[in-house]
Amino acid sequence: MSADTILAQVDVTQYEDPEKFKAFIPKLEKYRQALNDAILPQYSVELPDKVENLTAKQFNPVKYLYSQKLLTPSEFEITDSSAPQLVAKFATGELTAVEVFKAFAKRATIAHQFTNCALEIFTKDGLKRAEYLDDYFKKNGKLIGPLHGVPISLKEQMDFKGRQRHACFVSKIDHICEAHGTNAQILENLGAVFYIRTNQPQTLMHLCSDNNFIGVSRNPFNLSLTPGGSSSGEGALVGFGGSAIGVGTDIGGSIRAPAAYSGCHGLRPTSKRIGLAGSLSAGAGQESVMAVAGPLARTIEDIDYWMKHYINDGKPWEVDQNTLRLPWKEVAAPKASDLTIAVMYDDGIVRTTPPITRGLKETVAKLEKAGVKIVEFKPIRTQLAYDTVNSMYTCDGNDAQRELLAASGEPLCRLTKWSLNYGGGKELTVTQNRKLNMIRDSLRQEYTSFLIDNKIDFILSPTYNNVAPKPKQVYNWSYTSLFNILDFPTLVFQTGIFQDPEIDQWDASYKDYKFRSELEEIECNIYNPKEFVGAPVGLQLSGRRYFDEEVVAAGKTIVDILQVDLTKIK
Amino acid sequence: MSADTILAQVDVTQYEDPEKFKAFIPKLEKYRQALNDAILPQYSVELPDKVENLTAKQFNPVKYLYSQKLLTPSEFEITDSSAPQLVAKFATGELTAVEVFKAFAKRATIAHQFTNCALEIFTKDGLKRAEYLDDYFKKNGKLIGPLHGVPISLKEQMDFKGRQRHACFVSKIDHICEAHGTNAQILENLGAVFYIRTNQPQTLMHLCSDNNFIGVSRNPFNLSLTPGGSSSGEGALVGFGGSAIGVGTDIGGSIRAPAAYSGCHGLRPTSKRIGLAGSLSAGAGQESVMAVAGPLARTIEDIDYWMKHYINDGKPWEVDQNTLRLPWKEVAAPKASDLTIAVMYDDGIVRTTPPITRGLKETVAKLEKAGVKIVEFKPIRTQLAYDTVNSMYTCDGNDAQRELLAASGEPLCRLTKWSLNYGGGKELTVTQNRKLNMIRDSLRQEYTSFLIDNKIDFILSPTYNNVAPKPKQVYNWSYTSLFNILDFPTLVFQTGIFQDPEIDQWDASYKDYKFRSELEEIECNIYNPKEFVGAPVGLQLSGRRYFDEEVVAAGKTIVDILQVDLTKIK
């Protein structure tokens, strides 16, 4: 069966109502116009061609940015600095918040021009905030907090005081937030500068970005590909270098897929370490598999810095009762020879495409050479894990999604249909839901015991069976959602490897390969080497629950071994 | 409506099957015989009268123990020591595990003779374990762990390797555990000596102790009263001094009610700090309100010591994936003048009886005199909290309970009927269940913000509207379950105050009091001053989620101010 045949089975009449939707069309047009008007001339550039044409030729905006020097040397230096480097320079007065802000505002605006990453741009407000911070520093001789002047981007679903927040549900287009949600509040308390809120797919349940507001975002390394989802705009923006640190959310891969696809790093922390109260999703009250928020950035130091200060200085437990009072520990980057890593080459559900297979093998070879002990990881009950987590996503029979969608009657995007029905889409009883929880707990115990008993520190795995897929064509979440159901903290890191159509071809044995499922067949058939040029290879590093600090610290060691520097893609 | 009228509405045919149950009767008789045979002559005493007669005259075994010197001075000294005191003496060789064990075995056996607190006694095995520990100390010159030689009792529902574990479901009478559950395993690793497993009610959902195995336990301060539940046997045993530390569980008050009623202290920690994997209850997979395990003891130092070593040395996250990797912090007992405590005199659901009102007022007066800042706490949406948590308990339509009960067809105990139907007993949809979770989260946020915004450290409240009630007559859980739905760590501490039939009479205004509900009327009508002689008054001290250490530390300060010494009841 093709994907289209499966999608055609969805009863869209439960959700769509073209008549009702008509009333929202002018609002959506106004919304798009406002977004367009927010692109200020001082921050924008002229594109080399129409975006459609650039997309058709797999244009790489990141390379173009550097090769055509779209920024001044000073702007490059600023926007290629890590947040702790910027903050250190604010503290000595070497940099002002305003000059840093302007550089990021320009790079972010260009990112949006190429990738359609933003749902909202408010660089005027950002500038005012930067001016305020400079003024504060002048008056008080000290920084306002550990994120003083750091330009931070937020996924739109998070409440932002005085602004619209719709999470790409058309029915919520008129909702204005009375207060900041947990994340905007904590980050603002710490000194962050906000200026952009980013794109996400309808229902937040695609590893892509389509919606009825502004449509798909594009990948900053190849405009014909998706930046991933659901933190789509964060992936595209941070991958392009348009914000120092971005904040996304992840219930099935929504931080990690965008990070991996779009060429940056991203952390899905253990649940409840980062707050999520004050945000819109259809998952409210759903606790079988928890959504989490977490950072995307271009250095692991940024991720560590953000986590440390968000938790230790932000004290999220004082803002959001559902966060743990669990300080972020200082953990030094381990020596390579102290690490034991289990590698999962294939999760038993969908085999990897050639660039991922190569990326994983080359990475393993470099790690082994550096002294890391590598063992092979045979997936443990991954099909059960995948079936279970998929049932969890839809076990209210999609009631919550239906309510949010049907309220506007908006058309369903292609991948919305996929996600609504993927787990079965049947409403379960409380007893059936509890049984899913018990399966989940037995899986968590089994993976935990396996790691402890075998003295394995981390699991290394693909983020997805492929590199960044084409828009609206990503069906499998098995590699990421495994760590959602396990609730294992998982870092996506860049390997420094990119798809190469000459090298990354299916080998001779592929023509005889027997697909293990329709899903695998659909996914593998999409991969044509010529159509994924230059897509980054990002991998997952997972540790046990609450070992977030250790995962991030090991990520530093690994990225160091691999000599990855995302500011040197020139 | 009377309680009996309400109970008569339960459709017992869904659960009971007298024919099926017949097959279990000989097994239950054998079980009781084995328990009786386990009472060894060297540890037991002759009771002053038949238990029925003692019960009829509200006999106080604790007073009798001390006044009649049922133990030798050395046995008293040992069993009235705290665990850290014992361990210190093991470390110097001043005490051996065997002599300590024998003293506790005797006191525990006497406790059981009076109160029917044990489901299983295995003092022969306990003695062997103590001998092994002495041997270990002799050979290695050091203790095996921080609980070396400490006699610890466990609620029966927790798995214990090689032994039966039925949680008082008759259908599980033949179940033999293949391995220790989390708690037995961790405590054994730390050096504990096990010798007794304690009584609990059918379904574990009464604040009393009735079941078809051995029936009710009795209160060690007044045999005509219940020791509470569901950690009934732990309350009676620890209140009598028969184990150094007991381990109970609590989803609605099941550690705190027994501690308060039976004259000891007890802690309901924040969820997931102490493990519960490897135990039987009908709550598996139910996560809206979490069951927790925690300690009961006669000093706050014991509770602190147990929590610290269980967490920091036991590392429960390595044994049970569902526990937090959150170390136990050292928190010094605060100065009285640094404390701000909000007092809840009435939760708005059921008014307190005279001994509780007096106990609370006298306690507050002493705290204020010592410098504690006291503010009055007006209950926040307590009725909503109570309705919500009760719905959570039964929101699977009692499917899990029904399966466990109907498998033997055992007769329903009086309070089982109450608990099965109290929250409505209707199966909810996943969507309805999620709405309960959202109500819960809004309550948690409201209470948390209230404490933070008003700079209040703790809430002081009754544990129950009355002192220890009569067996099978306890209907209201509103005071305890509030802190289950909030997931606030809550310490029950003894005030040193006991019911006095001369003083603790309803005041003149009571005859004009208009009951706010049937529940309140039923509860208040039970209180006749003459029938609750000498029952202890224990109160609750609650803090914000994950502030367990602060709650325990403040408990030390309070008990110190009140000059409570549970080993001086003579």
DSSP line for A180-227: --HHHHHHHHHT-B--EEE---GGG--SS---SSS----BTTBTTS--
Query: Which residue from B321, B427, B437 is facing A441, i.e. has the nearest CB?
Result: B321
- In this complex, do B435 and A320 lie within 8 Å of one another by their Cβ atoms? no
Task: Give the pLDDT mean for A312-331.
Answer: 97
Instruction: Please tell me if residue B472 touches chain A, with a CB cutoff of 8 Å.
Output: no
- The band of A5, judged by pLDDT with boundaries at 50, 70 and 90, is confident
Q: What is the CA radius of gyration of chain B?
A: 22
Residue A567 inside a domain? The answer is no
B388-429 pLDDT per residue, tens: 999 999 999 999 999 999 999 999 999 999 999 877 778 999
- In this complex, do A436 and B285 lie within 8 Å of one another by their Cβ atoms? yes
Instruction: Enumerate residues 6+ apart whose C-beta is below 8 A from A100.
Output: A78, A86, A90, A130, A149, A151
Task: Count how many Cα atoms sit within 13 Å of the Cα of residue A550 in the half-sphere of its side chain.
Answer: 18
Residue B567 inside a domain? The answer is no
A268 contacts A255 by C-beta, under 8 angstroms: yes
What integer pLDDT is reported at residue B5 of this predicted model?
A: 86
Instruction: Please tell me if residue B445 touches chain A, with a CB cutoff of 8 Å.
Output: yes
Find residues 385-414 of chain B whose CB sits inside 8 Å of chain A.
Answer: 395-397, 399-400
- The band of A570, judged by pLDDT with boundaries at 50, 70 and 90, is low
> Distance between alpha carbon B206 and the CA centroid of its chain, in Å?
11
Search chain B and give the residue with CA nearest A320: B445
pTM of the model: 0.97
What integer pLDDT is reported at residue B570 of this predicted model?
A: 66
Search chain B and give the residue with CA nearest A447: B321
B475 contacts B2 by C-beta, under 8 angstroms: no
Instruction: Please tell me if residue B326 touches chain A, with a CB cutoff of 8 Å.
Output: yes
Catalytic residue set of B: 155, 230, 254
Search chain A and give the residue with CA nearest B320: A445
Search chain A and give the residue with CA nearest B324: A546
A87-114 pLDDT per residue, tens: 999 999 999 999 999 999 999 999 999 9
- In this complex, do B285 and A433 lie within 8 Å of one another by their Cβ atoms? yes
Q: What does the buried/exposed string (b/e) look like for B510-534 if buried means 16 or more CB atoms within 10 Å of the residue's CB? A: eeeeeeeeebbbbbbebbebebbbb
Q: Is the peptide bond before A230 cis (omega within 30 degrees of 0)?
A: yes
- In this complex, do A326 and B438 lie within 8 Å of one another by their Cβ atoms? no
What integer pLDDT is reported at residue A6 of this predicted model?
A: 84
List chain A residues with CB under 8 Å of B437. Answer: 285-287
Instruction: Please tell me if residue B428 touches chain A, with a CB cutoff of 8 Å.
Output: yes
For the beta sheet containing B458-462, the strands, ordered from the edge strand earlier in sequence to the opposite edge, are B118-121, B196-198, B152-155, B245-250, B292-297, B265-268, B490-498, B536-542, B458-462, B340-343, B373-376
Full residue range of the structural domain in which residue B351 is found = 3-280+288-562
- In this complex, do A441 and B399 lie within 8 Å of one another by their Cβ atoms? no
A227 contacts A237 by C-beta, under 8 angstroms: no
Residue B172 inside a domain? The answer is yes
List chain A residues with CB under 8 Å of B287. Answer: 287-288, 437
List chain A residues with CB under 8 Å of B435. Answer: 285
A487-516 pLDDT per residue, tens: 999 999 999 999 999 999 999 999 999 999
List the single best residue of A286, A434, A544 to mutate versus B (max B Cβ within 10 A): A434
Residue A569 inside a domain? The answer is no
Coil, strand or helix: which one is A106?
A: helix
- Give CA–CA dist A125/A147, Å, rounded: 17
A542-563 pLDDT per residue, tens: 999 999 999 999 999 999 999 9
Instruction: Please tell me if residue B544 touches chain A, with a CB cutoff of 8 Å.
Output: yes
B294 is in an annotated binding site: no
Query: Which residue from A428, A437, A445 is facing B321, i.e. has the nearest CB?
Result: A445
Residue of A82, A106, A153, A155 with catalytic role: A155
Instruction: Enumerate residues 6+ apart whose C-beta is below 8 A from B349.
Output: B382, B383, B386, B476, B478, B516, B517, B519, B520
Longest dimension (CA), chain A: 72
User: What pairs with residue A490 in β-bridges?
Assistant: A268, A542
Query: Which residue from B285, B428, B433 is facing A438, i.e. has the nearest CB?
Result: B285
What integer pLDDT is reported at residue B530 of this predicted model?
A: 98
CATH number at residue A440: 3.90.1300.10
What integer pLDDT is reported at residue A568 of this predicted model?
A: 83
User: Cα dist. A550→A541, A545, B549 in Å?
Assistant: 10, 11, 25
Instruction: Give the distance from residue A63's alpha carbon to the nearest chain B alpha carbon, in angstroms.
Output: 43
Length of chain A: 570
pLDDT at A56 over 90: yes
What integer pLDDT is reported at residue A9 of this predicted model?
A: 86
Instruction: Please tell me if residue A327 touches chain B, with a CB cutoff of 8 Å.
Output: no
B191 contacts B137 by C-beta, under 8 angstroms: no
Query: Which residue from B326, B430, B444 is facing A321, i.e. has the nearest CB?
Result: B444
Q: What does the buried/exposed string (b/e) look like for B144-180 if buried means 16 or more CB atoms within 10 Å of the residue's CB? A: bbbbbbbbbbbbbbbbbeebbbbbbbbbbbeeebeeb
List chain A residues with CB under 8 Å of B395. Answer: 430
| A230 a catalytic residue | yes
pLDDT at B270 over 80: yes
List chain A residues with CB under 8 Å of B400. Answer: 431, 434
A440-486 pLDDT per residue, tens: 999 999 999 999 999 999 999 999 999 999 999 999 999 999 999 99
Residue A324 inside a domain? The answer is yes
Coil, strand or helix: which one is B35?
A: helix
Higher-scoring residue by pLDDT: A569, A309: A309
B538 is in an annotated binding site: no
Residue B46 inside a domain? The answer is yes
Residue A568 inside a domain? The answer is no
Instruction: Give the distance from residue A269's alpha carbon to the nearest chain B alpha carbon, in angstroms.
Output: 14
Instruction: Please tell me if residue A430 touches chain B, with a CB cutoff of 8 Å.
Output: yes
Enter the tokens of residue B88: 């210190």
Written as one letter, the residue type at B406 is A
B316-339 pLDDT per residue, tens: 999 999 999 999 999 999 999 999
List chain B residues with CB under 8 Å of A285. Answer: 433-438, 441
Burial of A407 (0-12, 13-18, 19+ CB in 10 A): middle
A9-34 pLDDT per residue, tens: 889 999 999 999 999 999 999 999 99
Q: Helix A97-115 vs helix A123-140: angle between axes, to the nearest 10 degrees?
A: 160
List the single best residue of A311, A321, A395, A447 to mutate versus B (max B Cβ within 10 A): A321
Burial of A206 (0-12, 13-18, 19+ CB in 10 A): buried
User: Cα dist. B103→A384, B98, B130 in Å?
Assistant: 52, 9, 12
Query: Which residue from A322, A427, A441 is facing B429, i.e. has the nearest CB?
Result: A427
Task: Count how many Cα atoms sit within 13 Å of the Cα of residue B256 in the half-sphere of its side chain.
Answer: 33
- In this complex, do B452 and A318 lie within 8 Å of one another by their Cβ atoms? yes
Query: Which residue from A326, A400, A429 is facing B427, i.e. has the nearest CB?
Result: A429
- Give CA–CA dist A26/B101, Å, rounded: 80
- Which percentage of chain A shows pLDDT scores above 90? 96
A193-242 pLDDT per residue, tens: 999 999 999 999 999 999 999 999 999 999 999 999 999 999 999 999 99
H or E stretch at A281: none
- The band of A133, judged by pLDDT with boundaries at 50, 70 and 90, is very high
Note the ipTM here.
Answer: 0.96
A95 is in an annotated binding site: no
A187 is in an annotated binding site: no
User: What pairs with residue B461 in β-bridges?
Assistant: B540
Coil, strand or helix: which one is A542?
A: strand
Beta strands of B429-513 (E only): which ranges?
Answer: 458-462, 490-498
Instruction: Please tell me if residue B34 touches chain A, with a CB cutoff of 8 Å.
Output: no
Instruction: Please tell me if residue B433 touches chain A, with a CB cutoff of 8 Å.
Output: yes
A168 contacts A202 by C-beta, under 8 angstroms: yes
Search chain A and give the residue with CA nearest B451: A318
- Give CA–CA dist B510/A302, Å, rounded: 65
Count: domains in chain B: 1
Beta strands of B13-151 (E only): which ranges?
Answer: 118-121
- Tell me which DSSP letter residue A94 carries: S
List chain A residues with CB under 8 Å of B452. Answer: 318
Q: What does the buried/exposed string (b/e) look like for A293-307 if buried means 16 or more CB atoms within 10 Å of the residue's CB? A: bbbbbbbbbbbbbbb
Residue A570 inside a domain? The answer is no
Q: Is the peptide bond before B230 cis (omega within 30 degrees of 0)?
A: yes
H or E stretch at B542: strand B536-542
Instruction: Give the distance from residue B547's alpha carbon to the nearest chain A alpha carbon, in angstroms.
Output: 8
Instruction: Number of A to B CB contacts under 8 A, please give it.
Output: 110
Sole residue written with tokens 């269980």: B310
Coil, strand or helix: which one is A268?
A: strand
B544-556 pLDDT per residue, tens: 999 999 999 999 9
Instruction: Give the distance from residue B434's alpha carbon to the nearest chain A alpha carbon, in angstroms.
Output: 4
Query: Which residue from B317, B325, B441 is facing A322, i.e. has the nearest CB?
Result: B441
Burial of B141 (0-12, 13-18, 19+ CB in 10 A): exposed
